[in-house]
């Protein structure tokens, strides 16, 4: 089954963004140590695996398991516990 979500992935230094033609679906900001400063998924697109895809891309880019930087929201802490 194919994923019905169509989006563009935009990568800049330390930031990965998923966008479609109308809005930002999600993004993360991270450093070279794999520390995630911020991760966000638009509420309309949550529970579709986008946060996991963002974290996988961080791991692929840094070669390190993504870890949260403090402070992180309760929802963000839950996400990192799922890894």
Domain boundaries, position 16 = 8-82
In a domain, 2, yes or no: no
In a domain, 1, yes or no: no
Q: pLDDT tens-digit profile of 7-40? A: 999 999 999 999 999 999 999 999 999 999 889 9
Q: How far is CA 36 from CA 4, 8, 12, 20, 56, in A?
A: 27, 21, 15, 23, 12
Q: Are 18 and 26 in contact (CB under 8 A)?
A: yes
User: How confident is the prediction for the chain on average, in pLDDT?
Assistant: 87
Say yes or no to pLDDT of 5 above 60. Answer: yes
Q: Any idea what the CATH number is for the domain that residue 15 is in?
A: 3.40.630.30
* Cα–Cα dist 3/59, whole Å: 22
In a domain, 28, yes or no: yes
Q: How many domains does the chain have?
A: 1
In a domain, 16, yes or no: yes
Say yes or no to pLDDT of 3 above 70. Answer: no
In a domain, 18, yes or no: yes
What pLDDT is stored for residue 2 in this prediction? 45
In a domain, 78, yes or no: yes
How much of the chain, in percent, has pLDDT values that exceed 90?
70
What pLDDT is stored for residue 69 in this prediction? 78
């Amino acid at each position: 089954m194919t994923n019905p979500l169509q989006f563009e992935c935009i990568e800049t230094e330390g930031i990965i963004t998923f966008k479609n033609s109308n809005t930002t679906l999600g993004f993360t900001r991270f450093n070279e140590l794999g520390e995630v400063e911020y991760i966000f998924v638009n509420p309309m697109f949550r529970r579709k695996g986008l946060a996991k895809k963002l974290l996988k891309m961080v791991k692929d880019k840094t070669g390190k398991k993504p870890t949260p930087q403090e402070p992180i929201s309760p929802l963000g802490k839950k996400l990192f516990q799922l890894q």
